[in-house]
Amino acid sequence: MELSSTAKEILVQAQMLMKETGGTKLCVEHLLYGVLELADYLEPPFDKGMYEEDGKRVRQMVEKDFLSIASAREQLKKSAKADRDRYVDGRATLGRASELTHGGQIGAEELTRAVLEKSTPVMESLKTEKNERYANKDARYHPEQIQEQNEEEKKSLTPSQAAFLAALIEAALGGQEIQPSGKRPQGKRRTKMGLFTYRGGKVAAIIQYFLFGILVPAALIFALDKFTGFLHQPHTPLVTFLGMAFVCFWAFYLGRGLALVFGIASSALGNFLDILLDLGLIASLVYAATLAWNLPEVPFWLRMASCIIALLVLTIGNANFENLRDNGDITKTRIFLSNEEGTPDKIFFHTLTKMLYWPLLGFSIWWIWKIDLPDWAIKALWIVAFLMVYYIIWTGLVCHNLRYEKSRRHRKGARFAKFLMTFHLFMFIPELVLMLHWVFGWFPMKTWVMIVLGIYTLFFFISSIGVSRNA
C-alpha cells in the first residue's frame, strides 16, 4: 500500500494520538484526528507550503459534515483516552482507501473520503460539536465572512449608540434638553492582589502589598520581643519551630508578591514561580524542623511525606497551566513528540514544569531510601542532566522564535532568534564532547579533537547565519 507524503503525515498524527492515549491499534477515530489536523492546515504540523493544497481540498470535504473543525479536533483529542474503548478498528478504512485508488497511491483525499464514509458513534457526536472558544480558528479559513460581518457591524448601531438614540427620542417627546454626557462618576478603584484587596490600581496595590508585608510582621516581632523578650530566651523545640515557620511563611509571602508582579506580564511565568515557591516552602519547613529538634538527619516519615506533597504540588501546578488566560499571540508547536498550544511563554514554562517531574521523582527515591550510587551511575546522571539542560535551552529558543513566526505583529529580531535556535541545535555535538571530557576526566583535550571541533563550529556558525537570513 503506497501512500503520498501528506497521507503519511496523517498516519503519523493518528499514531501519535494513539500512543498518547495508550491505544494498541489504529482506529478510525485516530485517522479522523489526522484528517482534522490536515484540515487545519494553517497550524503545525501541516502549516508548510507542501500541505496547503491538500489541506484546502480536505477542508472542503470535511466542512460538509462537521460544524466546527477546530472544535471537533480539540474535543476528539481531549476525550480520546476516555472514549478509546468505543473506537472502531481502522484496518477496513485503510482498505477502503486503497479500493478508491484501485491499488494506486493513496492520497489525502482518498484517505479522507474513506474515513468520512465510516460513520461511528464518536464521529457522529463530533459532527455537531461547536465551541465558541475556537470560532476564530475556523473563521481564518473564511475571510470573506469576517469582512461581511465587519461591514454589517459598521452599518448597525452599537448598544451605546442605540441607547443614546432612544434617550434622545424620549427627551424630545418629553420636551427636555439632552446634555452631552461627560465622564461617568467612578468609585474608588480597588485591586485584589493575593488574598487581600487594596485601594488604587496595580502599582498602588503592589506598593501596599510589600509595604504591609514587610512592616506588619516586623512590627509584630519587635513588639513580641519588646514586651516578652521572646528572641533572647530559650524555648522548647516546638516554639522554636513555630518561630522559624513564621519566618519561612514571611519569606514565602514576599516571594509570592514577586510572583504576582511577574504574573501581570506573563501568567505562565507567575504560575511557574508559584510552583518553585511552594517547593521552596516545603524544603524550608523540613530544614526548620531538623534545626528546631536538633535532628542528625530528617526522619524517614518526614522525608516520605515532604516528597509526596512536593509531587502533588508539582502536579497541581502543571494542571493549572490549562486554566491560564493567554494575553498574547496563541500558537501551536510540537515539543518532545507532544503538541503544545498557547502563547510562547505558556508553552515554555508548561514544558519546563513537566520536565521537573523526573528530577524530583529521582531525588525523592534517592533521598527517602538513602541509596548509595556507584561511580558509573553518578556519571550517567551528569550526562542526563546535561541533556535536560540542553533541551530546556532548546525549548526556550524554539518558543522565542515562535514569537516571530506566529505573531500577528511584526517584530524586529526574527533573524537573530532563528540564528540562536539553529546554532544551538548544531552545537550539540561539541557541547556533548566537552561534557564527556569533563565527566570522564579526559582533559587535556587532544590536538586533533580541538581542530575537528573548531572546524565544525566555524562551519555551522556560518551555516546558521545563512539559515537565519531566510527568516
Q: Tell me the C-alpha distance between 25 and 14, whole Å.
A: 11
Same domain, 123 and 201: no
Q: What is the CATH number of the domain that holds 9?
A: 1.10.1780
Q: Which amino acid is at 317?
A: G
Residue 347 within any structural domain of the chain: no
pLDDT at position 183: 47
| Residues 106 and 22: beta-carbon distance below 8 Å | no
CB within 8 Å of 441: residues ≥ 6 apart: none
Domain end, chosen from 143, 169, 195, is at: 143
DSSP 197: E
Same domain, 19 and 138: yes
Domain end, chosen from 177, 209, 233, is at: 233
Same domain, 27 and 120: yes
pLDDT at position 338: 67
Range 461-471 burial, b when 16+ CB lie within 10 A, else e: eeebeebbeeb
Residue 129 within any structural domain of the chain: yes
CB half-sphere exposure, 149, CA atoms < 13 A = 7
Residue 269: CB atoms within 10 A of its CB come to 17
The number of domains in the chain is 2
Tens-digit pLDDT string for the chain (471 aa): 688 888 888 988 888 888 888 888 899 999 999 999 999 888 888 877 788 888 899 999 999 889 899 888 888 888 887 888 888 888 888 888 888 888 788 888 989 999 998 888 888 888 888 887 777 788 888 876 655 555 554 555 555 555 555 555 454 444 444 444 444 445 568 888 888 888 888 888 899 999 999 999 999 999 988 888 888 888 899 999 999 999 999 999 999 999 989 888 788 999 999 999 999 999 999 999 999 999 999 999 999 999 999 999 999 999 998 887 665 556 666 666 567 777 888 889 999 999 999 999 999 999 999 999 999 999 999 999 999 999 999 999 988 888 777 554 445 688 888 899 999 999 999 999 999 999 999 999 999 999 999 999 999 999 999 988 875
Q: Model's pTM, two decimal places?
A: 0.63
Residue 411, helix vs strand vs coil:
coil
Q: Tell me the C-alpha distance between 59 and 192, whole Å.
A: 46
Provide the residue count of the chain: 471
Q: Tell me the C-alpha distance between 424 and 430, whole Å.
A: 10
pLDDT at position 181: 46
Residue 115 within any structural domain of the chain: yes
Question: Read out DSSP for 234-285?
Answer: ---HHHHHHHHHHHHHHHHHHHHHHHHHHHHH-HHHHHHHHHHHHHHHHHHH
Same domain, 120 and 199: no
| Residues 263 and 216: beta-carbon distance below 8 Å | no
